[in-house]
Amino acid sequence: MTTNGILQILAYFLVILLLAKPVGTFMARLFEGKRTFLHGALRPLETLVYKLVGVDETVEQRWTHYTASLLAFSIFSFLFVYALQRLQGLLPLNPQGFNHTNVSPDLAFNTAISFVTNTNWQAYTPESTLSYFVQMTALTVQNFVSAAAGIAVAIAVIRGFARQQVNSLGNFWVDLTRATLYILLPVSIVAALLLCANGVIQNFEPYTVAKTLEGAKQVIAQGPVASQEAIKMLGTNGGGFFNANSAHPFENPTPFTNFIQIILIFFIPAGLTYTFGVMVGDRRQGWAIFAACAVLFFAGVFTCYWAEQKGNPNFAKLGVETHATAGQAGGNMEGKETRFGIAASALFATVTTDASCGAVNGMHDSFTPIGGLVPLFNIQTGEVIFGGVGAGLYGILLYAILAVFIAGLMVGRTPEYIGKKIEQKEVKMAMLALLATAFAILVFAAISSVIPFNSPTKDAKGQAVAQSYWNPPGPATANFNNNGPHGFSEALYAYTSAAGNNGSAFAGINANTPWYNFTLGLAMLIGRFLFLIPLLAAAGSLAKKKRVPATTGTFPTHGPMFVGLLVGTVLLVGALTFFPALALGPIVEHFLMQDGKFFSLLAFPLWS
């Protein structure tokens, strides 16, 4: 690790630390219905929205009603995005003339779920699949509202702790509107301009055809990138305008745009920890959550950075210089952009998986086994290290409930968190949410490890003919890019990313087949809704309870001990659930790498 690299990471964290309080205070005011400095400009717009859709902003909803509103909104969004993709041939702003043949039904299904659930898993290659119109009206809109929905749920869960003896958790439509109008839109606009000013492109041009120095023809994709880039990061969406995502020079041209992008990822999630403290009336509680996230963040980023900077020992054995020198980054630069280098790539990979962002500025598939383990494990723990917008906060609150329940008994009282007794209902819901995620990751990855689809045969001319509709390449393992544990890591990562609503890919696996599109879509649905519905149910139950005043007999949830306990719970639950799978993936790969054993690419062509 280099001093420069460490300083980059520390500087990044310092900015996040400084932003948490102002951003958090603003959000707390906004969702407590107080005036903010943006109300003068945006309040008329807000009331207009309510008038147009017929929402009474003074009516509050019970948790069931709140959840139903969210589900109705999501179902509508899904149908809308699905339809637009399939109908893109009939719609404007389509200079490349894409139509429904570019988007198969299973791909459209997968993509629609992906954007509605804030996952932004991209089984398709955007620049060769979707028109500008679909990207802007279907996908970018979802980038805003799926993020806003996440924030709304987090706020509803906070209200469960903050309120006493009431049935209502707020109004979903109001929370959704406010999150979009007052937070996501203004910050995105500022960020988009900033990115634009630093070289991110923004146009409606047809693709440029260039002649390279060798005389070859090259098609260079164009598009309204900056506007989508800002919300892609801010809403922890991660769906790139281009397939190469933030590694693409038009999306992320400089180290400075790179820095802005990762700041945007934690902008809202870090602020929400402070919002939590304000709304429950004890800022220390918010800082404790922040601190736990910070500990996990540092543990991840430095492990990843260390592994990447150390690189592959087998190169060193061959006499290759792997240390950082004035002229080169050293370490493992495979799949990384030279303009970012090792530290910024490791930092980006950690941050994008701490949160459920999923944007990438390097290929996680090319990371060292341990370097790749960090993003994988980050997602498997539920992306609670600041986490996705909203999802991160309600995720870490789930762990807080568990930590308090198990350890809280050891002080000899019915466990309490923020003065609320943690009882049957809360524990049941927390376990349900954990189970759903574990199920979506492990069961689908297990089936994909063994399911035998028919392999393609060759016709008279020697052309491969697919024998299986579900998976043309043959058995599900045929889609892995590598064999051995690394291939397994690719599949495990795919389902982990889907269930965690992350959307980043290990980038090796060919996931655009009906089997993967369908199962990954299911994993996204389970990971999103079977996680947040139990949390909302728990919040509904918590809101009804009285708040027990804290005494010296109460387990203090604002000190270092609680922070340690929360960190321990996150790590232990994640490790115990996924250790067997990880042992057969990145862990054994790491040991094998040290023994000098590698895994070849499979002989199958890449689909995308």
Partner 1 sequence: MATSLQTPVAPPSTEPSLLPTKLTRARPLFDPEIVQRATRDSFRKLNPVTLMKNPVIFVVEVGAALTTVFLVRDLVTHAAGIGFEIQIALWLWFTVLFANFAEAMAEARGKAQADTLRKTKTDSIAKRVLPKGNIETVPASRLRSGDIVIAEAGDLIPGDGEVIEGIATVDESVITGESAPVIRESGGDRSAVTGGTKVLSDHVRIRITSNPGETFLDKMIALVEGAERQKTPNEIALNILIAGLTLIFLLAVATLDPFAIYAVSSSGAGHVPTIAVLVSLLVCLIPTTIGGLLSAIGIAGMDRVMQHNVLAMSGKAVEASGDVNTLLLDKTGTITLGNRQAVEFIAFEGVTEAELADAAQLSSLADETPEGRSIVVLAKEKYGLRGREIAEHEANFIAFSAYTRMSGVDIDGRMLRKGASGAIANLVKELGGRLPANYEEISDRISRGGGTPLAVADGPRALGIIHLKDIVKGGMKERIGQLRAMGIRSVMITGDNPLTAAAIASEAGVDDFLAQATPADKLAYIRREQGEGRLVAMTGDGTNDAPALAQADVGLAMNTGTMAAKEAGNMVDLDSNPTKLIEVVAIGKQLLITRGALTTFSIANDVAKYFAIIPAMFMATYPALRRFNIMGLHTPESAVLAAVIFNALIIIALVPLALRGVKYRAVGAASLLRRNILIYGIGGIIVPFPGIWIIDQILVWLHLA
Rule CB under 8 A: is residue 577 a binding residue for partner 1? Answer: yes
Rule CB under 8 A: is residue 580 a binding residue for partner 1? Answer: yes
Single-letter code of the amino acid located at 597? K
Which residues from 389-448 bind partner 1, rule CB under 8 A? Answer: 402, 405-414, 419, 422-424, 426-428, 431-432, 434-435, 438-439, 442-443, 445-447
Rule CB under 8 A: is residue 223 a binding residue for partner 1? Answer: no
Comparison of 91 and 572: residue with beta carbon closer to partner 1? 572
Rule CB under 8 A: is residue 323 a binding residue for partner 1? Answer: no
Rule CB under 8 A: is residue 548 a binding residue for partner 1? Answer: yes
**115: Cα within 13 Å, side-chain hemisphere:** 34
Is 373 buried (19+), middle (13-18) or exposed (0-12) by CB count in 10 A? buried
Stretch binding partner 1 (CB under 8 A), from 115-123, 248-256, 379-387, 480-488: 480-488
Q: Dihedral (C-alpha) 11, 14, 18, 19: value to the nearest 10 degrees?
A: 70
Rule CB under 8 A: is residue 601 a binding residue for partner 1? Answer: no
Rule CB under 8 A: is residue 290 a binding residue for partner 1? Answer: no
Stretch binding partner 1 (CB under 8 A), from 4-12, 141-149, 189-197, 548-556: 548-556
Q: Name the token pair of 540.
A: 């509904």
Distance linking the first and last C-alpha atoms of the chain? 35
What is the C-alpha separation between 186 and 128, in angstroms, rounded?
31
Rule CB under 8 A: is residue 488 a binding residue for partner 1? Answer: yes
Q: Quick one: which H or E segment has residue 26?
A: helix 3-31
Comparison of 393 and 491: residue with beta carbon closer to partner 1? 491
Strand-pairing partners, residue 133, are none
Comparison of 313 and 556: residue with beta carbon closer to partner 1? 556
What mask, x for binding partner 1 by CB under 8 A, covers residues 555 to 574? xx--x-x---x--x---x--
CB 350 within 8 A of CB 304: yes
Rule CB under 8 A: is residue 583 a binding residue for partner 1? Answer: yes
User: In angstroms, what is the minimal distance from the CB of 587 to partner 1?
Assistant: 8
What is the C-alpha separation between 375 and 365, in angstroms, rounded?
11
User: In angstroms, what is the minimal distance from the CB of 281 to partner 1?
Assistant: 14
Strand-pairing partners, residue 178, are none
Q: Dihedral (C-alpha) 101, 102, 108, 111: value to the nearest 10 degrees?
A: 180
What is the C-alpha separation between 255 and 344, in angstroms, rounded?
8
**587: Cα within 13 Å, side-chain hemisphere:** 9
Among 240, 487, 503, 527, contact with partner 1 (rule: CB under 8 A): 487
Rule CB under 8 A: is residue 19 a binding residue for partner 1? Answer: no
Rule CB under 8 A: is residue 484 a binding residue for partner 1? Answer: yes
Residue (of 310, 497, 509, 277) closest to 396 by Cα position: 277
Rule CB under 8 A: is residue 603 a binding residue for partner 1? Answer: no
Give the ranges where 32-118 is alpha helix by DSSP (H). 39-53, 63-86, 105-116
Rule CB under 8 A: is residue 463 a binding residue for partner 1? Answer: no
CB 305 within 8 A of CB 54: no
Q: Which residues bind partner 1 (CB under 8 A)?
A: 402, 405-414, 419, 422-424, 426-428, 431-432, 434-435, 438-439, 442-443, 445-447, 449-450, 477, 483-485, 487-488, 546-549, 551-556, 559, 561, 565, 568, 572, 575-581, 583-584, 587-588, 591-592, 594-595, 597
